Amino acid sequence: MSQTMKSHFLILLLFITSLSLNAQETARDLGIITGVMPVGKTNSIVDVSGVKVGHTTLIKGDAIRTGVTAILPHGGNIFQDKVPAAVFVGNGFGKLAGTTQINELGNIETPIILTNTLNVATGIDAVIKYTLHSSENEQVRSVNAVVGETNDGYLNDIRGQHVSTTDVLNAIKNASTEKPEQGNVGAGTGTICFGYKGGIGTSSRRLPKNLGGYTVGVLVQTNFGGVLDIGGVNMGEKLKNFAFADELQNNVDGSCMVVVATDAPLTSRNLERLAKRAFMGLAQSGGIASNGSGDYIIAFSTSEDVRIPYQTKALYKTKSVPNDWMSPLFMAANEATEEAIINSLFMAEDMTGYQGHHIKKLPVDKVLSILKEQGVLESE
């Protein structure tokens, strides 16, 4: 093949890829509305001002289908300017590094990293290096890296531990406030959800001014099972693809990592309460928190009113939302989590990986047809 033909072929390939990406639409783009609250500008976690997201996607050969997703609570030095945070564990069959210190001190001091189960240690190593080499951290001697995971070992050669420290650092370096990619990207590259290709999903909710005007954004890494529900319709049953449909065995194990961000000034105690409501969104999507599932929700606030300085010699005041104002935020976390999970399915694509294993994407056209039959969507 001549150089000219190779160039034309490459241009054609890029064009086809672009068409494929542009063809992907979120559930909301297709008229499926989750809940009643308005969404933010991009309907993603970055609608919470300052939050940044970056991906490293690893698709190599026939067996490597994995990656990294980094979530930065703000663009400054997170170690020096910590954010209040909390963790809620729906089912603890998983590995979320950094949990005990978050529970003890009520804050996060590093980027949040999501990857696969056997590369959690790599994520920790990278976050420590990133923090130690950040400006102003020359005297730091202890770092609480926050690294979560799901097991992508069906589509990915997970035993090969193919994620490198550089891959994690690149995800952090490339993090931006642009709307993050969804589906088969980053930590969601090789994941499976409700028997279909899962991945990264995101959504947001914006409270009206009379309820505070705050924003809640959610990002999920979906790799779990149950009985899929979309728009109040038992989609798992309609599609004949649901937990224990074929045989009574533990075939729904996986995990779901949920990251909840808000600009509402919340204490770690109320952030834990917010995280619990996000777990309700997972349940509303049809998740059952099976025996082997690691279902973790990390919630943090970006508000400067509740930031925690690394070192201070004086008392400092915080302004936080009172308990009586929390219910709208609870509702926002619930709705955004459910929609983020659905988006991870709608934005994913078919994938073939390790040992020739193949997972199909959610049959979106069939889903839309069922929703029209059930009166959830209007027929054309």
Please report, for residues 207, 253, 326, the alpha-carbon distance to residue 27 in angstroms, rounded to integers and kept in the order given. 21, 25, 27
Cβ pair 22, 195 in contact under 8 A: no
Cβ pair 27, 336 in contact under 8 A: no
Pairing of strands 192-193, 52-60: unpaired
Helices and strands (H, E) in the chain, number of each type: 8, 17
- Phi/psi of residue 9, each to 5°? -65, -40
Residues facing residue 258 across a β-bridge: 220, 297
Tokens of 280: 């309700």
Can 293 be counted among the known catalytic residues?
Answer: yes
Can 125 be counted among the known catalytic residues?
Answer: no
Mind spelling out the 3-state secondary structure of 208-229? CHHHCCCEEEEEEEEECCECCE
Marked catalytic residue, from 295, 303, 320, 344: 295
Can 255 be counted among the known catalytic residues?
Answer: yes
DSSP states of 238-249:
HTT--TTSS-SS
Residues 6+ apart with CB under 8 A from 108: 73, 78, 82, 83, 85, 98, 102, 144, 146, 298, 300
Marked catalytic residue, from 44, 203, 204, 255: 255
Cβ pair 354, 152 in contact under 8 A: no
Q: How far apart are CA 22 and CA 305, in angstroms?
A: 39
Tokens of 300: 């943090």
Residue 188 C-beta-side C-alpha neighbours within 13 Å:
35
Please report, for residues 198, 251, 273, 288, 298, the alpha-carbon distance to residue 117 in angstroms, rounded to integers and kept in the order given. 16, 18, 27, 20, 17
**Active site members:** 255, 293, 295
